Chain A
């Protein structure tokens, strides 16, 4: 009996995480698969504010669970996705959206990369043009012309042969 105690403890440790996970999962009442799917889709667009690089769909933070419950209830009440997003941004700001709306404050965010791309292209073209102007096109010397013609002749002879 005494020897089996550590084994029992080990088993208990292995089993314990599962039991607590089950308790947590019981919380939401999932009775409408279509609604759950809609919730899943919408919450993938939303940021969890506690663990900021996670979506609301992925997060297991308490607040994320509360917010999912809130969204679920609003969906049940017949609110549209747009209305729910408006509800959340009124309270948490644009930060909750993974895809922020296009407003003057987010112009830089949305268009900045393209502006940088255009600026880069402009610099590149100017550079290429400058370099081309720097390299003068020298006419061939008599010796170079003779060698070139010889090479061309040798080649055409080979082809006809």
Chain B
């Protein structure tokens, strides 16, 4: 009896491992930047290149940085959701316009609406490298001390927003208010 149970057991273990493997998205590479200071940058603003935006400007606030581009197909899917999240006023959403052409990016926002408080223009993609961006959209949650608390790769679905971002934002705001 045992003779047959051992291979069967091994087979079941293999099946479990394969099932877990199938359920994972190999494109989601865990970021080493979680709980580390958000890389500093100073970039021209998309709407007004004479003004700049820096991560330092956001000290003391909980905020979301969303990496997007007009050439990015998934960003288009994500866009109406972002507009909704921005309208709710739960947390300010800033954009990092990644390797885009200014006129394309502005046209995109004109056409689809602008959920961002403002977008920083990373036309050469240097800042994106500092943030370990490898495919838009990517979304970072940054706390009052400029520490990256969470990163989501791919469109922020309503589930992710409700289950991950909002609870963390609330907790961070509460912790910030207590201090």
A residues touching B (Cβ–Cβ < 8 Å)? 49-50, 52, 62-63, 66-67, 70, 89-95
Contact B27 A52 (CB under 8 A): yes
User: With A and B bound together, what is the CA distance between A106 and B32 in angstroms?
Assistant: 15
Known A49-B29, A62-B99; contact A91-B125, beta-carbon cutoff 8 A = no
- Given contacts A49-B135, A66-B125, A93-B31, list 10 more A-B pairs with CB under 8 A: A50-B134, A62-B99, A63-B125, A66-B99, A70-B129, A90-B32, A91-B32, A93-B132, A94-B32, A95-B30
Contact B32 A63 (CB under 8 A): no
Q: Which residue of A lies closest to B124 (CB)?
A: A66
Number of interface residues of B (CB under 8 A): 18
Q: Which residue of A lies closest to B134 (CB)?
A: A49
Can you list 13 pairs linking A and B with CB atoms under 8 Å apart? A49-B135, A50-B134, A50-B135, A52-B26, A62-B99, A66-B125, A66-B128, A67-B129, A70-B126, A70-B129, A89-B32, A93-B32, A95-B29
Contact B130 A91 (CB under 8 A): yes
Contact B99 A91 (CB under 8 A): no
Q: Which residue of B lies closest to A93 (CB)?
A: B32
User: With A and B bound together, what is the CA distance between A90 and B32 in angstroms?
Assistant: 6
Contact A66 B29 (CB under 8 A): no
Min C-beta distance of A49 to chain B, whole Å? 4
Contact B29 A91 (CB under 8 A): no
**Residue from the set B31, B130, B134 with the largest chain A CB neighbour count within 10 Å:** B134
Contact A63 B132 (CB under 8 A): no
Contact A91 B132 (CB under 8 A): yes
Known A62-B99, A63-B134; contact A91-B129, beta-carbon cutoff 8 A = yes
Known A62-B99, A66-B125; contact A91-B27, beta-carbon cutoff 8 A = no
Q: Which residue of A lies closest to B27 (CB)?
A: A52
Contact A92 B29 (CB under 8 A): yes
User: Which residues of chain B have C-beta atoms less than 8 A from A94's C-beta?
Assistant: 32
Q: Which residue of B lies closest to A67 (CB)?
A: B129
Contact A92 B30 (CB under 8 A): no
User: With A and B bound together, what is the CA distance between A67 and B130 in angstroms?
Assistant: 11
Q: Which residue of A lies closest to B36 (CB)?
A: A90
User: With A and B bound together, what is the CA distance between A44 and B32 in angstroms?
Assistant: 22
Instruction: Give per-residue flags for B95-119: 1 if the beta carbon is below 8 A from chain A beta carbons, else 0.
Output: 0000100000000000000000000
Q: Which residue of A lies closest to B99 (CB)?
A: A62
The yes or no answer to B131 lying at the interface (CB within 8 A) is yes
